[in-house]
Amino acid sequence: MDFYQQQELARKSSRRLVWLYALAVVCIAVSVHCVVCALVAFGLAEETEGYGMAFTECLLNPMIAVWTLGGVAAMIVLTSLFKIHQLSSGGAAVAVSMGGREVSPQTQDFKEKRLLNVVEEMAISSGVTMPRVYVLQNERGMNAFAAGFSTKDAAVAVTRGLLDTLNREELQAVIAHEFSHILNGDMRLNIRLIGTLHGIFALTIFGMLLWQAARIMSMTRGRSRKKDENGTMAIVVGLFVLGLLIWLIGHIGYFFGRLIQSSVSRQREYLADASAVQFTRNPMGLANALKLIGAEGSRLETPKTVEMEHMLFASGLKSMFATHPPLIDRIKFWDGAFNGDFTEARRLLQKRTEERPTSL
């Protein structure tokens, strides 16, 4: 499979997953509607021809559907938009928050000059506006990321460890990978998925608020001296059950939302790898960079690493929510002879620490 086929496969997989993400939101709204109808039907069962009939009538009642489906949709959309607005501050702000220092065009540091040259080359190759360039000076782990809501506010950042270790071809492959994220709108897609996930999680908070309301009503009822409080008790129980079920639906939706989000992110990483090879025409440059990262490690020290996990070139997170494909799988795709042994890469790392490049 060449890089064009790999790109198309990754794009198709991403589109399917995004539609699945939207379907998950719809299923959450329908689930809440069914829960509300079940509780309403329970209260009306004695006045109708049975629970089943009451549930069906509530389920098909347009007024109840508007309030439940519309309410859940409004909650998810509004909280999502709020989160997206928070995350859309621009690539430079993200790079600075991660501890980045902008590289000046007048820098006298050889490796920073080479970085600027490579970024400019990739900007020309990909047809993307030259982004701002940052170095995470205090990070020895080998990593990089691109950030920004559009090509106009994009930034590319690399760690000092990556800058000091990779040669020009390997650095070119990493930067080309990050340019793919900018060119294909991956940052914008990720921000929107994070926003929607935040909106789904808002349901769990709403469920907890209903619990709290039921608890307060129960305490008020306990202090009251009125004898006929069956109606109040029914409301308390109803709020508690509704809150519990909405909380549960929110957690289940959040779990599957995280799985889908991670799957989308992994597919975009495959797409970025294929685009990096397209831009550089050098698959071994990418494979060798990944081998060195596998030998050295990609861990970052900043506490914001978990929040920015999906933006990184390589990740150390190993779980069902991993935002990157396994490093060995990415290497084997471009170097079929690789057997998973990083011994040779470690020797090369040791050799490079004793040498200093002398040309751009």
Whether residue 279 contacts residue 125, with contact meaning beta carbons closer than 8 Å, is answered with yes
pLDDT (average), residues 31-39: 88
Residue with tokens 């000046």: 104
Asked if residue 21 has pLDDT above 70, the reply is yes
Per residue in 278-325, pLDDT (tens digit) is: 889 999 999 999 999 999 888 888 877 766 777 889 875 556 677 888
Asked if residue 38 has pLDDT above 80, the reply is yes
- pLDDT given at position 47: 58
pLDDT (average), residues 86-98: 84
* Spatial separation of the C-alpha atoms in residues 261 and 192, rounded to whole Å: 10
Per residue in 157-169, pLDDT (tens digit) is: 999 999 999 999 9
Asked if residue 106 has pLDDT above 80, the reply is yes
Lowest mean pLDDT among 17-31, 229-243, 244-258: 229-243
**Residue 320, token pair as written in the block:** 């069902």
- pLDDT given at position 231: 59
- The more confident residue out of 174 and 94 is 174
Full DSSP string of 254-293: HHHHHHHHHHHHHHHHHHHHHHHHHHHS-HHHHHHHHHHH
- pLDDT given at position 14: 66
- The more confident residue out of 82 and 238 is 82
Lowest mean pLDDT among 248-252, 303-307, 344-348: 303-307
Task: Give the CA radius of gyration of the chain.
Answer: 26
- pLDDT given at position 229: 57
Asked if residue 337 has pLDDT above 90, the reply is yes
- pLDDT given at position 103: 97
- The more confident residue out of 40 and 343 is 343
- pLDDT given at position 183: 85
242 CB contacts (<8 Å, ≥6 apart)? 35, 36, 39, 207, 210
Pairing mode of beta strands 101-102, 132-136? antiparallel
- pLDDT given at position 10: 61
- pLDDT given at position 254: 85
- pLDDT given at position 93: 87
If you average pLDDT over every residue of the chain, what do you get?
Answer: 84
Per residue in 187-246, pLDDT (tens digit) is: 777 777 778 888 888 888 888 888 888 888 777 765 555 544 555 677 778 788 888 888
Whether residue 188 contacts residue 151, with contact meaning beta carbons closer than 8 Å, is answered with no
Amino acid at 149: F
With pLDDT > 70 as the criterion, what percentage of the chain qualifies? Answer: 87
CA nearest neighbour of 127 among 151, 157, 100: 151
- The more confident residue out of 100 and 87 is 100
Secondary-structure percent of the chain, ordered helix, strand, coil, rounded to 5: 70, 5, 25
- The more confident residue out of 219 and 119 is 119
Band of residue 132 on the pLDDT scale cut at 50, 70, 90: very high
Active-site positions?
178
Residue with tokens 């990184």: 312
Lowest mean pLDDT among 68-77, 180-189, 280-289: 180-189
